Amino acid sequence: AQKITQTQPGMFVQEKEAVTLDCTYDTSDQSYGLFWYKQPSSGEMIFLIYQGSYDEQNATEGRYSLNFQKARKSANLVISASQLGDSAMYFCAMRERGFQKLVFGTGTRLLVSP
Partner 1 sequence: DAMVIQNPRYQVTQFGKPVTLSCSQTLNHNVMYWYQQKSSQAPKLLFHYYDKDFNNEADTPDNFQSRRPNTSFCFLDIRSPGLGDAAMYLCATSTLTSGPEETQYFGPGTRLLVL
Interface contacts to partner 1, rule CB under 8 A: 31, 33, 35, 37, 42-47, 50, 52, 91, 95, 97, 100-102, 104-107
Spatial contact of 19 and 110, defined as CB atoms under 8 Å apart: yes
By beta-carbon proximity to partner 1, the closer residue of 46 and 81 is 46
Tally of CB atoms within 10 A around 76: 19
By beta-carbon proximity to partner 1, the closer residue of 16 and 97 is 97
In the complex, least distance from residue 36 CB atom to partner 1, rounded to whole angstroms: 11
Tally of CB atoms within 10 A around 26: 11
